[in-house]
Structure 1
Amino acid sequence: MNLESVLIKLKKSYDKNIPELNAYRNKVYPDFVLDNRIEKLVAEIPVFTFHSIEPVEFEKQLQFLAINNYKTLKADEFYQMLIGKKPIPEKAVLLTFDDGWASMWTYGYPLLKKYGMYGVCFLIPGIICEEDRDYLNLDDVWEGKISQQELIDRDKTEQPYCTWREIRHMASQGTIDFQSHTMYHSTIFISPQVADFFHPGFDSYAGNHNVPIFQTHGVDNVSRQAELGTPIYTHQPRMGGSLRYLDDEDLREKCVEFVAENGGEDFFSKSNWRKELHQVIENYRSKFGERGSYESQEELEKAIFNDLVESKRLIEEQLGTVVQHLCYPYYVGSQIAVELSEKAGYVCNYWGLLEERRGNNRVGDNPFWVARLSDELIYRLPGEGRKSPLEILGRKFIKNSGRLVAKLV
């Protein structure tokens, strides 16, 4: 990984995590996070967010919950408590897992079973594969079939997500409750302004999540496998509610052809490669004008609604369960997405930290605005082994930055 890529990743890490430090500084976290004197939760249910699971740290978090007698909930159980149909236990939490990473099968599922706990996993059904093979997990280690060192970390392989076979098995055991994270976890272009170009150092992320969905011959290319030189316009998560900008495919092709004709991947070794591609765009638009277009409000609403309906339908079809809970990718939604999710049959929408809620979820709160906290804040729950906010957030920043810098050496 080159310096530019690391710096981009560091900035993204900073942009993603700085709201947590600001939230602590501005006192928009729940009282149990801010005040060491809080000795118990009172009529509230903290919801914590995980992504890919690190087994050692995750087991420590489960041990903390177990030692302090916290009860983990399932999604429908949480919803019933939120609307007042079931009483809230003093020590109840909801553990949520976004995306359906393979580590859910490799580590999360076995460890949750080990401690008799539950999790809610928000799937992206449009990118899940069907495979016949059984991948190894911690159960195989504990049964003596393989050593810990032989356990493959699939997050670094060509198959970073759980398969339908694994998901069906986990769902059948009742340990993990699978719900919706939208159909494709997509972002869309929202203006003709170029933010970047697809290049060898572009952070496409697993499943090409960081590449906005674009059209090929007028049809959405949901795989998002962009060619070198593809313009990346300013973009936003699909559920954010902005009108989608449909880029000029001919202009895109001009940029791709220019890169191919000028060395392909070697073209990006030039210090001014971006300037050259911007010049291609300027020349094209001076001749043909700006030929991109925007979807209509009606098309926007239809696209969001169809995404939510199809995601729900596909998970239900695969698992034989009822899907009623939606989590917004990137923690970004909109009022129109909320309204359409209810129309599509969802009863709960999950976000990130909601400042107006201070991260709390209490009886009577709107279930379409569920606030979630970073998983590190589990250690701020009242109980034995509680950690300070500085220890938690400082360690997180150091860890994330250290990983990226380490890729340079």
Structure 2
Amino acid sequence: MTVLMFHSVGCEKNEWYRNWLSVSLDHFESFCKFLVDENYETVFLDEWYNEQGSPSKESTRKVVLTFDDGYLDNWVYAYPILKKYRLKGTIFVNPEFIDNSENIRFNLEDVWDNKINVGELSPIGFLNWSELKKMDSSNTIDIQSHSMSHNFYFHSNNIRDIYTGQPHYDWMAWINKPHRKPYYTTENQKQFVPFGNPIFDFGRALGLRRYFPDENLVKYAIELYSNNEKLRDKSLLIEKLNKKLITFPGTYETDEEMEKRYRYELFESKSLLEEKLNKKIDFLCWPGGGYNDLSVNLSIEAGYKASTVSFKDKKLVENNADDYKRIKRSAMGSFISTNTKYHYVKDSNYLINLFKYHNGSVLHKNLYRINKLGFIILDKIGL
């Protein structure tokens, strides 16, 4: 049974840094129609779970559609289209990103009912509890856990960059102003992090021991950046900061602190979702595929029946006969990435071809490679 990974739907043209996570409405609806026309059945993860480890039960005509992060467009676009085609999807949600609003917002169903024009829909942002409850009470969407925070954290005292408002460090604002996390796609949060702040080696929250820079070093870095134009050269600033690290080396989490943080991420997200949605939460998606032995063991202790697996650990799903199972997923997107950018693929059948590639089609694997090579060539000639 194939498990597919989506994120956002219908926001590929919007001005937010991660718009490459979004599949276009054209691609998404074409793919949904394909699943129906080809007699594929979409199921929730509990049915997937019951078929694991039993080859005689496994079906190649069943598909699990999963959506990470809980974007508002999952309500605005994905949910109505899935309902239209009588398909099912699973949304993995981080409670720290759930919007604080209470009213259910307009979606495509309201457009179809002539209550609003499609151009008046507002798909950017994150889901609120009302929308989550509405979808989860249907037979179309199943809500599951994506941990609490989805944060990145520093894990060593190696300085790799200096913060000057780069969009790919938007997670720095999540840490400094956690109550504003649900709005990072709709507001400018660069001011939440002082320019000049050193960026150390970082990774996913549930796969590392957190490193805490010394506050004196951070203050020193910010002042140097602010007051000395010559030190706006990042290499010079990093060189000075590395010398200062001898005096202010920073600290690391203790074993106890790390376990406490992991427990919050795994136990609290499960408990909160179960309380709010009045249901059992059995499945966990690791943000960014970040986990380690401790976090996996704690997820088992928390009562999760299965969790996603990183592509590097794909051997863990070859048997999948243990009670605690691992979910191997295949990424679905409207973009092909090269070393320099993300390229949108215009072909409306692109997700269909990508699905066939994931299901082992040599022809569609080669078509993907040809597509990517074409974009690499375009990059080189500057188009």
Q: Scaled by the length of structure 2, what TM-score is found?
A: 0.77
How far is 1:364 from its partner?
2.3
Q: Provide the rounded CA distance (Å) in 1 between the counterparts of 2:197 and 2:117.
A: 44
1:257 aligns with 2:223: yes
Closer/same/farther in 2, CA of residues 317 and 80 from structure 1, 3 Å limit: same
Closer/same/farther in 2, CA of residues 315 and 279 from structure 1, 3 Å limit: same
The percent identity for this pair of structures is: 29
Match of 1:348 in 2: 306
Match of 2:331 in 1: 374
1:324 partner amino acid: D
2:244 partner amino acid: Y
Of residues 111, 122, 134, the one that matches 1:169 is 134
**Aligned-CA RMSD value:** 3.5
Matches within 5 A, 1:42-121: 45-53=1-9, 54-82=24-52, 84=54, 87-121=57-91
How far is 1:56 from its partner?
1.3
Structure 1 unaligned residues grouped into runs of 5+? 1-44, 155-159
CA contact (8 A) 1:46 1:361 kept: no
Q: Provide the rounded CA distance (Å) in 2 between the counterparts of 1:311 and 1:399.
A: 40
Q: Scaled by the length of structure 1, what TM-score is found?
A: 0.73
1:235 partner amino acid: F
Q: More deviation in 389-398 or 164-173?
A: 389-398
Q: Provide the rounded CA distance (Å) in 2 between the counterparts of 1:315 and 1:89.
A: 30
Q: Provide the rounded CA distance (Å) in 2 between the counterparts of 1:222 and 1:400.
A: 37
Q: Provide the rounded CA distance (Å) in 2 between the counterparts of 1:391 and 1:85.
A: 30
Q: Provide the rounded CA distance (Å) in 2 between the counterparts of 1:282 and 1:380.
A: 47
CA contact (8 A) 2:136 2:143 kept: yes
1:304 partner amino acid: Y
* Partner SS state of residue 170, structure 1: helix
How many correspondences in the alignment? 339
CA contact (8 A) 1:99 1:123 kept: yes
Of residues 72, 88, 96, the one that matches 1:126 is 96
Match of 1:195 in 2: 160
Matches within 5 A, 1:9-408: 45-53=1-9, 54-82=24-52, 84=54, 87-154=57-124, 160-204=125-169, 208-209=170-171, 211=172, 225-240=192-207, 242-262=208-228, 272-282=232-242, 284-285=244-245, 289-354=247-312, 356-357=314-315, 364=321, 367-375=324-332, 376=351, 377-380=354-357, 388-392=364-368, 395=371
How far is 1:130 from its partner?
2.0
Match of 2:339 in 1: none
* Partner SS state of residue 307, structure 2: strand
How far is 1:146 from its partner?
3.0
* Partner SS state of residue 326, structure 2: coil
Higher relative contact order, structure no. (Cα contacts within 8 Å, ≥ 6 residues apart): 1
How far is 1:215 from its partner?
7.5
1:296 partner amino acid: T
* Partner SS state of residue 209, structure 2: coil
2:241 partner amino acid: I
Q: Provide the rounded CA distance (Å) in 2 between the counterparts of 1:279 and 1:339.
A: 40
Q: Provide the rounded CA distance (Å) in 1 between the counterparts of 2:377 and 2:120.
A: 28
2:233 partner amino acid: W
How far is 1:65 from its partner?
1.0
Q: Provide the rounded CA distance (Å) in 1 between the counterparts of 2:41 and 2:375.
A: 29
2:51 partner amino acid: M
CA contact (8 A) 1:187 1:212 kept: no
1:126 partner amino acid: E
Q: Provide the rounded CA distance (Å) in 2 between the counterparts of 1:238 and 1:340.
A: 14
* Partner SS state of residue 168, structure 2: coil
* Partner SS state of residue 203, structure 1: helix
How far is 1:55 from its partner?
1.5
Q: Provide the rounded CA distance (Å) in 2 between the counterparts of 1:135 and 1:235.
A: 36
Closer/same/farther in 2, CA of residues 299 and 341 from structure 1, 3 Å limit: same
Match of 2:338 in 1: none
